[in-house]
Structure 1
Amino acid sequence: MSFKNLFQSYEHSRNLSHFAALVRIAAVDNELNEQEMARLDRFASKLGIHESEQKAVLKDPALYPINPPNSHEVRLQLLHDMFSIIFADNQIDEDEHHLLVRYATGLGFSDEQAEKYIKRSIQIYTGGLDFEDYQYLVEK
């Protein structure tokens, strides 16, 4: 197997595990609503997950362990994807919050970093920004 194929295989494996984590978060309330399924379909396409793989993951997402990236930026992107799924219904519940913490630490964030990024992301997604933060994000 060439280096390029090996890298592509690793990247696909990481994408599958990320998709499975998205499914676990979306199904934390034991059901997937239309908005969550629509987002999962978009993520599957974005991540290069084939339809047969998507069905297998939806059937049993626990078979796909978290495969943490080395890059801080990629970790943040994956965490952002999680928030996109969680806020498909415009709310976050206690179970989702708990899974987010586990996922963030599984991605390689320390417990302290995970709590910081999750707290900040919830403020961003719920519109709980103060003016200085809003200004920074708008003008960035």
Structure 2
Amino acid sequence: MSISDLYSSGKHKQEIGHFASIVKIAKTDNVITEGEQKLLDRAAKKLHISESEYENILKSPEKYPVNSPVSYDERIERLYRLTKMIFADGDVDKNEVSLMRKIAVALQFPLDNVEKVCDEAIHLVMNDNDLDDFTTAIKNVNAI
């Protein structure tokens, strides 16, 4: 196995873990709405999730750990996608926000700042900020 194969499989494990996190948020209320389904389908395509992986993750997302990327910008992008999923059904549920905070900690956002980061993420997505504006604002909120 070559180094590129190892990197590729490691990267794919991160993508699977991230997709599972998105699924966990979608399933928080035990219903996947049409908006959530569309977002899941788009995320699966972007993350190169196969049909069989998709089905397995949908059945048991808790089996897949969050594998945080090393890149800070990639971690912010994952937070962005998670936040988008919270709004996909048009209803922000406190259980979704609680799960989002736990995932944000797993994405290596500082525990003492995670609530502030997640609140800002929700505010930014609610106001239709794009990924670039989201990234800039989260970096400002999370400045250490």
* TM-score bracket for the superposition, by shorter chain length: 0.7 to 0.9
- Residues 39-118 of structure 1 mapped to structure 2, 5 A cutoff: 39-118=39-118
SS of match in other structure, 1:112:
coil
CA separation in 1, counterparts of 2:127 and 2:13?
34
Query: How many equivalent pairs are there?
Result: 132
Q: Which moved further from structure 2: 90-99 or 58-67?
A: 90-99
After superposition, the C-alpha distances for 1:3-46 in whole angstroms (9 at most, x for unaligned) are 00000000001100100000000110011011101110110000
- Cross-structure match for 1:26: 26
Q: TM-score, normalised by structure 1?
A: 0.87
After superposition, the C-alpha distances for 1:76-123 in whole angstroms (9 at most, x for unaligned) are 000001011111123311101100110000111112332122111122
| Unaligned 5+ runs, structure 2 | 138-144
Change beyond 3 A, Cα 1:128–1:10: closer
Change beyond 3 A, Cα 1:62–1:128: closer
CA separation in 2, counterparts of 1:98 and 1:126?
17
CA separation in 1, counterparts of 2:36 and 2:10?
26
- Cross-structure match for 1:5: 5
Structure with higher helix content: 1
Change beyond 3 A, Cα 1:63–1:120: same
- Cross-structure match for 1:127: 127
- Cross-structure match for 2:140: none
SS of match in other structure, 2:82:
helix
Larger radius of gyration: 1
Q: TM-score, normalised by structure 2?
A: 0.85
Q: Is the 8 A contact 2:101 2:118 kept in 1?
A: yes
CA separation in 1, counterparts of 2:128 and 2:31?
28
SS of match in other structure, 2:30:
coil
Aligned-partner residue type, residue 49 of structure 2 = I
CA separation in 2, counterparts of 1:119 and 1:92?
12
Please tell me the root mean square deviation across aligned C-alpha atoms, in Å. Answer: 2.0
Change beyond 3 A, Cα 1:90–1:28: same
Change beyond 3 A, Cα 1:5–1:92: same
CA deviation after TM superposition for structure 1 residue 128, in Å? 10
Runs of 4+ in 1 over 6 A off after TM superposition: none
- Cross-structure match for 2:142: none
